[in-house]
Structure 1
Amino acid sequence: MTEKAYDWIGGARLEEHSRRKHKILREYFAHYLRVRCQLPQQERFRLAVIDGFAGAGRYDDGTAGSPLIFLEGLRDAVTAIDQQRAAQGFAPIAVECLLIFNDHNPDAISQLRGHVAPLQAAIAETMPRLHLRVEYLTEAFEAAYPLMKRLLEQGRYRNVLFNLDQCGHSHVARTTLLDIMRARPSVEIFYTFAIEALVAFLRRADPDQLAAQLKPFGIVPSVGGFDAAMSRNTWLGAAERLVFETFRSCAPYVSPFSINNPEGWRYWLIHFANSYRARQVYNDILHRNSTAQAHFGRSGLDMLAYDPAHEVGALYLFDVAGREGARVQLLDDVPRLIAETGDAIGVGEFYETIYNATPAHTDDIHSAIIENPDIEVITPAGGERRSANAINLGDVLRLKRQASFFPMFLAATTRR
């Protein structure tokens, strides 16, 4: 696949897959800021945002690109947070943000400066407690990364978001992704790439692994490309597993979902996180933007366990139909997971266990717990929860003594 660079001077067209991705990014960033600034006693919050392939900031139709999405998100979120704090009788919060915008195209950065300047000036004039420092770099990402890292270390930033929206795949090394995620506990990455570029890389680097990953789905990694396969659900299932296996070592939580595009499963938006809570929020954001991303396989707690030779997979678009199917699987999967640990598991440990392998919404998981006849939710005081909305991190999920599913589990074990 030949990578196509954006023509920022002539006017870059906003593709549908980018539009969907930007909506998710904007909503997630707003939620991220609200959560990080929710403590009443908190008076200050510091973060850094690095846009490694920033572009010029606006597309030919005037739509904001990712750098302006971050700036507008900061402005809008801090305004809303301060209004809420004032209504509750709390002082406004001071927010300090380092923004690093990098693009290897100097013309793109020149245009970006022009788009950022009036917005930055308006924030400085009207929001004195929102402190922005904007740094511009014009390097290939791997060349710019050491300086980005020094700026983060010099400023002692603990809360960091990376947006890495590359044209192909080869611009960000997996070792760099791993270094980013290990450098600090509170870091997240949004990572976009074209699946064809990843396949081309794996064809050269590890053709045996590539063939083994695609074989169960009946897909042969031919030189001619994957155009004919890319609109098939089986391709989505194969590519999703390929993506997960390629990047699973980079972070504890990796969401290997494709951007849902009528033209085929070509572009992937991966979210890397060190905390299950970040993945939990990301899943819920996707459900609020149903059909923006897609998954093929199982929809319960073991989404990549789908075996194309023995099972009929399902397309999960984070929509109403997908959630109905997920609820059915969750009623079976949740008690099964608890039984695999013994007969009880803390809610926090349960979350840590499931969130790298489920596309499910938090509400659907909680409903499957409360509605399940074989599970009880025990509070720290020894009582029992009756409401899905009341489930708390300190609670314990416990199998009832007369659990009805054990014969089913024994039969499943025998079949294996």
Structure 2
Amino acid sequence: MESKKFFDERTDESEVKARIVSKYFAAWAQVVLATVKDRGGKIAYIDLYAGPGRYKDGAASTPLLILQTAVDHPKISQMLVTYFNDVDISKTSTLQNEINQLPGIRKLRYKPIVTCGEVGDDAAKYFNETRLVPSFSFVDPFGYKGLSLRIVQGVIKDWGCDCVFFFNYNRINAGINNPGVKPHMDALFGEERANALRARLPGLTPELREAAILEELANEIQALGGKYVLPFTFRNGEGTRTSHKLIFVSKHFKGYEIMKDIMAAESSTIDEGVPSLTYSPADASMPLLFSLAQPLSRLKEMLVSDFKGQTLTLSEIYERHSVGKPYVRKNYREALKALEAAGKIFAFATKGARRTGTYPEHVKIQFKGNC
């Protein structure tokens, strides 16, 4: 999708993407505000491909949604530094005008910075060599040019720094074995992993091909310091294949948990209470295709097997087990209630009383050793 066309018409996918990013920014800011006073008193939002600020129908895109959140929050408005960039000067000019006209914009202590320029090696070098204040960064190129994991590494390396980036699966899938875009693929996956993918992908089914590409991407991000990687998938209009993904990266489980809850709320299907972490326009018209996996039943089986003989709290179980899986905290709570009712686990309070069916921090869950 070309950037010019992207902002001509607002789509359901673009609305979902904007909501995910803006909701996470609001939640992330609330978390880091509690300690940021001891770290310079500033937080930042960085958008490297910001666009014009509005779609042709007048709806606000991500930059204006972020700024409006800051304007409406007394503490955020006094601490937030914003940096918006785009390669297209017509877009940055329009964005600057939209920012100037945003109601309440003068409440912000720091004036938003809008620049125009290519995002390449110089940007990667800057972010990797500059110590950042706690920052949430959005990297949303149209395609793969300008998307380098060195940039991702740079914007997440410091305390309180998280990132979400747009991963155009269609174009990247087609580009992996294209010699003409080899430098872009090497910048994205790292040359060694990109070469491994080129050797591995031929002959794989579309589903296994997608899984292999995502696995290598996540492995490279984790090697660069991004401990938690969480993808949200967008499918085509027929629901038959992946078009693109939003990839969230954080060094802290708290950020991972917050973003998973946000992505869960934006999922177009929920099976046994488990979110798909996917938006597919076809889900509503073809619900049977998305209701046969019985994921909660599978979770109960995994818990009994994976924690056999162990005693842990719900929080410990969730943090150890949920990474890389679609389950949210409430899914674990429901699974534990069912297992307790079936006599497969035993829950007890380490202090005070416990209400049946609840798992607060003072309650331990004991898994049988012979299950």
TM-score range normalised by the length of the shorter chain: 0.7 to 0.9
Alignment of 1:220-235 (within 5 A): 235=207
Q: Which residue of 2 aligns with 1:165?
A: 140
1:56 has 2:48 as partner: no
In 2 relative to 1, CA 198–358 (structure 1 residues): closer, same or farther, beyond 3 Å? same
Q: Which residue of 2 aligns with 1:231?
A: none
Helix, strand or coil at the partner of 1:132: coil
- Pairing partner for 2:217 from 224, 240, 246: 246
Q: Is the 8 A contact 1:170 1:197 kept in 2?
A: no
In 2 relative to 1, CA 71–186 (structure 1 residues): closer, same or farther, beyond 3 Å? same
Alignment of 1:355-374 (within 5 A): 355-372=322-339, 373-374=343-344
Q: Which residue of 2 aligns with 1:212?
A: 200
Q: Is the 8 A contact 2:71 2:77 kept in 1?
A: no
Q: CA deviation at 1:191?
A: 0.7
Alignment of 1:19-58 (within 5 A): 19-37=15-33, 46-58=42-54
1:131 has 2:109 as partner: yes
Q: Which residue of 1 aligns with 2:311?
A: 344
Q: Which residue of 2 aligns with 1:391?
A: 360
Q: Which deviates further from its counterpart, 109-118 or 276-285? A: 276-285
In 2 relative to 1, CA 187–116 (structure 1 residues): closer, same or farther, beyond 3 Å? same
Q: CA deviation at 1:384?
A: 5.9
Aligned length in residues: 334
Q: Aligned partners of 1:50 and 1:378: how far apart in 2?
A: 46
In 2 relative to 1, CA 94–16 (structure 1 residues): closer, same or farther, beyond 3 Å? closer
Q: CA deviation at 1:344?
A: 2.8
Unaligned 5+ runs, structure 2: 183-193, 278-282
Q: Aligned partners of 2:301 and 2:71: how far apart in 1?
A: 44
Helix, strand or coil at the partner of 1:176: helix
Q: Aligned partners of 2:141 and 2:259: how far apart in 1?
A: 21
Unaligned 5+ runs, structure 1: 80-91, 220-234, 304-314, 406-416
Deviations 1:53-105 (A, max 9, x none): 001111111111111111012233x16xxxxxxxxxxxx78740110101111
In 2 relative to 1, CA 348–133 (structure 1 residues): closer, same or farther, beyond 3 Å? farther
Normalising by structure 1, what TM-score?
0.69
Helix, strand or coil at the partner of 1:257: strand
Deviations 1:195-228 (A, max 9, x none): 1332244224546524535745x34xxxxxxxxx
1:96 has 2:92 as partner: no
In 2 relative to 1, CA 75–275 (structure 1 residues): closer, same or farther, beyond 3 Å? same
Normalising by structure 2, what TM-score?
0.76
In 2 relative to 1, CA 257–271 (structure 1 residues): closer, same or farther, beyond 3 Å? same
AA in 2 matched with 1:287: A
Q: Is the 8 A contact 2:162 2:249 kept in 1?
A: yes
In 2 relative to 1, CA 379–94 (structure 1 residues): closer, same or farther, beyond 3 Å? farther
Helix, strand or coil at the partner of 2:28: helix
Q: Is the 8 A contact 1:276 1:355 kept in 2?
A: no
Over the aligned positions, Cα root-mean-square deviation in angstroms equals: 3.7
